Amino acid sequence: MDILKAKKLLEKVEGWKLTDNEIQRIYRFKNFQKAIEFVNMVAKLSDDEGHHPDIKISWNKVTLTLTTHAINGLSENDFILAAKINKIL
């Protein structure tokens, strides 16, 4: 995906940032338990969609990174999943 298209799609997914060939967002929570609850919801959604983010969990912070490994870059599916993840909260 070219950078102009990626930037246009990025405008539709609040809080996500474009880095190289991926998009990333950091979510902050009250505590570890809330972070894990969010990750579990993201895991369910990701399985349903057949598209999975890389997930990093720390005490009250979850970092999600989306890219399409099959094409070694971004696809529209990354932005669609990002929008659906944003609706979880």
Q: Which domain holds residue 26?
A: 3-88
> Cα separation of 87 and 70, whole Å?
26
Reported as a single tens digit per residue, the pLDDT across 33-53 is 999 999 999 999 999 999 999
Q: At 66, phi and psi to the nearest 5?
A: -120, 135
Number of domains in the chain: 1
CATH number of the structural domain spanning residue 58: 3.30.1360.20
The pTM assigned to this predicted structure is: 0.93
> Other C-beta atoms within 10 Å of 4: how many?
8
Q: What is the mean pLDDT of residues 18-40?
A: 96
**pLDDT at residue 11, rounded to an integer:** 96
